[in-house]
Amino acid sequence: MPLISNGYNMMLLDFEKPIEELMEQLEKAQATHEKGKVDMTDTIEQLQGKIDQTRKNLYKNLTGWQKVQVSRHPDRPYTLDYIHGITKNFIELHGDRNMGDDKAIVGGFANIDSHPVMILGHQKGRNTKERQYRNFGMANPEGYRKALRFMKLAEKFNKPIITLIDTPGASPGLEAEERGQGEAIARNLMEMAVLKVPIICIVIGEGASGGALGIGVGDRIAMLENSWYSVISPENCSTILWRSWEFKEKAAEALKLTGNDMLKNGLIDKIIKEPVGGAHTDKEAMFKTIKLEIKKLLKELKELSPEELIDQRIAKFGSMGVYEEA
């Protein structure tokens, strides 16, 4: 993912180049102003206004591939950022009680204001060491079994479940297959469909294939504005169809992976707005927004009985992919 660095410690994506040029001008104006030789207040305000307007114009109509790029931004909030940003009294749980503790899945009990919940999701890393530790957010079978253990625990204590999805896919290694990757994901789909508590699933970044769906069966499915959800990444789709990664932009459009596409096709229930420029540009505002949306959905789902939750959940996913010929 091509990135541009600037003096404000903000990594810009390649399509944000017009912002980089304005930021360089702003940095020079601020340096001149701080030296006290010239009053640059008006110039600084004008440049800040131009930067805000340019960012708004760029983010008004992002392509599918550009949204994929934003979803992978290295400063974007991950699951633990959201957990610490929207909950209190978080108690992290570990292990699947069988194989081990998969660091690509994190979760535990917490409170969202007055709402006790089980919150879990994929966790990526910020640097090379963390990414290896978290396996780039790609869960192994023990990760999905760990998630299921947490969800069963939530059901036992009658607590709603919040899942945060952000993965490039399930771990594709030989060891993962030997330990039953397909079975672990399939079991989660089956078990999540009949859990007796409300389940809210939110795609906060990448939502790739069965790796995402393994914790993605819920009563309400939401996506952040600049996230994506698909059966395959654009690069891998391009490789299969055209034998090259060069057509990833074309693949991203063909996959219909954005929130707008998913909502139009009836595969999700809601798109959650992000700050202009992406969730990473104002994390506190993003935390407030997602917290408010979760509370709204919890209030809505609390009105339903366990039987109604299960019936509606099964009907929801059972109707996906059904179409009638004209």
Cα–Cα dist 42/35, whole Å: 16
| Residue 153 scores a pLDDT above 70 | yes
Cα–Cα dist 139/141, whole Å: 7
Q: What does the pLDDT read at residue 186?
A: 97
End-to-end CA distance of the chain: 42
Q: What does the pLDDT read at residue 1?
A: 47
> Residue 41's pLDDT band (boundaries 50, 70, 90)?
confident
| Residue 117 scores a pLDDT above 70 | yes
**Single pTM value for the model:** 0.91
Q: What residues does CATH 3.90.226.10 cover in the chain?
A: 69-318
Asked if the 69-318 domain carries CATH number 2.60.40.10, the reply is: no
* 267 closest CA partner among 199, 209, 225, 319: 319
Count of CB atoms within 10 A of residue 132's CB? 11
Q: pLDDT per residue over 14-28, tens digit each?
A: 888 888 888 888 888
Q: What does the pLDDT read at residue 132?
A: 96
Q: pLDDT per residue over 62-77, tens digit each?
A: 999 999 999 999 999 9
H or E segment and range at residue 5: strand 3-5
* 220 closest CA partner among 268, 260, 188: 268
